[in-house]
Every structure is written in structure tokens, then in C-alpha cells.
Homo-oligomer: A and B are copies of this chain.
Amino acid sequence: MAEELVGNCLVAQSGGPTSVINASVAGVVQEALEHECIEEIYGGLNGVLGILKEDLIDLAEESQQTIRGLRYTPAASLGTCRFKLKRAEDYNRVLEVFETHNIRYFFYAGGNDSQDTANKISKLAQERGFQMRAIGIPKTIDNDLVVTDHCPGYGSVIKHISTVVREMCLDHEAMGQHDLVSILEVMGRNAGWIAAGASLAKGNRENPDKPPHLIYLPEVPFSVEKYLDDVKRVLSRNKYCMVVVGEGLVDADGNYVNTSSSATDAFGHAQLGGCGDYLQGLVEENLGIKARSAKLGIHQRAAASCSSQADNDESFMAGRAAVKAAISGETDKMVTLTRSTDSDQYVCETGLEPLENIANGVKMLPKEWINEDGVSMNYQFFKYAMPLIKGEVEVPYEHGLPQYVKLSKNRVSKQLGEHHFE
């Protein structure tokens, strides 16, 4: 048993929000309340940015109702950021804030960039001899963190997208007089996990005649000729062709296909989007067939009213597991979700993995889960993804709309001077 470490804890959120990232915060708060060695439960506003600014709130002062409401409230209630810690002054400042507020437990929910940040902060604390424990909580709709079986946030986004595809296609079937190509552009920067997840709209098994008929993934280099052939093949069997495309589509040279903007974010990642319109144009210009495209945009990662109970439960569990791990002496680790291989039943538990094994890695969709046609997923993917969308989160409604909670955000008194950004 590790030495007891007494002090305050801090939880923060980073990167793109999800439908269930707040459930992890609820899990951290609920678990932290049960351990006397954790004195105050702080939240950092807007990820590391708020820590640099000493923008901390007292989560224990929030009502129980509010903390319970975090279970079904989408997006990041603490706020998030895409700010990248680079300068030594920034790292020093984080440590200074931790020391000043006696933060001995740091829980950071985010993707691979965030896990890298948590790791570096913890390593610096060790160098300085400041005793603290840092545990990462996985979060990303992209499902591209290595080691963990899957990521909280992913199940909900594919449940939502599969629902959208299923409902759209009933409309297409109803209108089914003419050839129609319908394109749905979904997120997914480097890996096709999200686009692949739309396969579940087919039901619980693969079926080439059920929509979506064609899925274009970043893992399969895009060819215009093959795309047009794929569309023609589908339209020879069906009245309409439902296409799902991930925004991160690349050509044979590895270049992004038709990004609408040359902008990049703070981590140097390209801002993507526009593939759907591009695929629409290709069909209209080359085949003279009517096409439509839709782009769900940000909503796909915030649709809590259509989120997965399994995903939500696992996100909550990951938050609790992070606190339990830290209390038991673990540090510099990320909570992982593991899948029991003992039985045919899906059983998800938590594990731990060193942060350095997570940071900056990207888990691609396994090539062997993609059918030979390059545009559909095989039974291995269905087996993997089906359990992740199970169950419906019950969101309370008022005046006909989902009622989400808002933190009252009682600020912890600042004790340091202002931090100077570049």
C-alpha cells in the first residue's frame, strides 16, 4: 500500500468536448468525496489554460443535483482548451499553482495531446520534488488513443450518427423514385473510427444492401475513379446510395482530399471539412446524378439526447477509477477501458497504462476489419462496436427541450500574480 498523500485534487478537461466527458468529472467528484486524504475538490477551468490563469473552482460547493446532472450534460462543463504548453515558464507556472493550492492529485480528461501534457507536468513535479499523482482519463470521439480498447465519447457519437443514417435513409426510401446519392460528412481527423461506426445503422450485422452503402475512411486512400464506380454499382442495385465520409479522407499521396480551409489548430492539426460537398460535386459532374450532402458538424459530439448509456457508464467509471488509482499510489498513468475476453458477453473494466505509452500515439482502425471492397466493415468491427452503443441515456426535458446543468463555478481565491502569456 502506497504512502498516504494528503491534499487537494484538481480535475480538468481538455480538447474537443464529447457527450460524456462530464460524466468522468462526476465520477471523479463522487469518488473523491469518499476519501479523506482528498481535502478539497477543485476544477480547473478551460484545461491547462485555466490552471495557468489560476482559474480554479470549488466543485464540492456545487449542489448534488448539479453533479448528478453532469452525468447527462454534454460538452465540457469546466470548459476546455486547445492550448499547448510549450515554454518552460508555462510548466513552471503550472507547478507553482499546484504548490500554492496544495494540489496533490491531478486528473486530466482528454485525448493524446492532453495525456502528453499530464505526463510532462508530472515529470516536472518529480524533478522538483513536489509529491503529486497525475492520472489521465481517456476522452475522445475519435477513438484513436492507443492501448485502451475504446475511448469514452466514441460509443455516443457512433450511436448518434447511426441513428441519423437510419432516419435519413427512411426518408430516402420514401422518396425513392429516382437515383439519389446522399452523403453524410462526419468527424475523424486521422482515423476512420467514426465513419466506420455508421455501419451500425445496418443493424447488428454486415449487409451490403442496407445503408450506409459506402463508407470512405482515411485508412483507405481515396480514388475518384473507384468512388464513381462504387456509386454506380450501388445504384444498379438500390434506388439511392448512402455514403458516409470521414473528414480526414486522404488520397494515394497522403494529402487531405479537399479541405475547405488551410487553417491549423494550436497543435498543428489541419482544420478539416468539405469532403461531403466534394463527393457531391464529383457525382453531379461526372455521373449527372442528383446528390445531396449534409454535415452534422459540432453537434455530432454534443448530442447527449441521443447518447449511449454504456458509453456514459464507462466514462463515469473511468473518472472513479482515476481517483481510486491515484489514492492507491499510482501516478503517470491513464485509465484504460479493457474488454473481457473470457466470455461472449461484453464486460468492460478499467486498467492503467503509463502516460508515455499513450501520448501522441494514434490507433488506426485495423485494416483487417475493413472488407475487401474498402467501403464497408466486416463482422469483427460489428462485434467490436455493437456493445458500445447499448442503452439510451435518459435526459430530463423541460418546455420540450433537454435541460442540462450549468456549474455555479465558485472561484477559489487567487493567490498568485497574473501569468504572462507570450
Contact = CB atoms under 8 A, between A and B. Distances in A.
Given A77-B174, A174-B75, A204 B302 contact: no
A17 interface: yes
Interface in A23-52: 46, 49
A5 interface: no
A295 B164 CA distance: 13
A244 to B, nearest CB: 13
A73 B174 CA distance: 12
A123 to B, nearest CB: 26
A416 interface: no
A401 B163 contact: yes
A79 B301 CA distance: 32
A148 B348 CA distance: 53
A263 interface: yes
Interface in A62-80: 73-80
A362 interface: no
A200 B401 contact: yes
Nearest to A80: B174
What secondary structure prevails in chain A residues at the interface with B? mixed
A298 B302 contact: no
A297 to B, nearest CB: 3
A173 interface: yes
Contacts of A308: 400
Nearest to A81: B177
B400 A167 contact: no
A363 interface: no
A376 interface: no
A397 to B, nearest CB: 6
B290 A201 contact: no
A101 interface: no
Interface residues of A, number: 70
B80 A302 contact: no
A13 to B, nearest CB: 8
A172 B308 CA distance: 22
A159 B263 contact: no
Interface string A326-346: 000000000000000000000
A184 to B, nearest CB: 8
Q: Interface centre among A166, A273, A290, A303, by most B CB within 10 Å?
A: A166
B391 A167 contact: no
Nearest to A178: B82
Given A200-B400, A306-B306, 7 more contacts: A78-B174, A82-B177, A168-B298, A170-B404, A261-B284, A308-B400, A389-B399
- Top 10 A-B residue pairs of the complex, sorted by shortest distance between their CB atoms: A294-B297, A389-B400, A75-B170, A76-B174, A167-B302, A75-B174, A75-B171, A171-B302, A204-B399, A17-B174
Interface of A: 13, 16-17, 46, 49, 73-83, 159, 162-164, 166-168, 170-177, 182, 184, 200-201, 203-204, 261, 263, 273, 277, 284, 290, 292-299, 301-306, 308, 310, 386, 389-392, 397, 399-402, 404
18 contacts: A16-B175, A79-B174, A159-B401, A162-B400, A167-B299, A167-B302, A167-B402, A168-B298, A168-B302, A171-B302, A184-B297, A273-B292, A292-B297, A294-B298, A295-B295, A296-B296, A310-B400, A386-B400
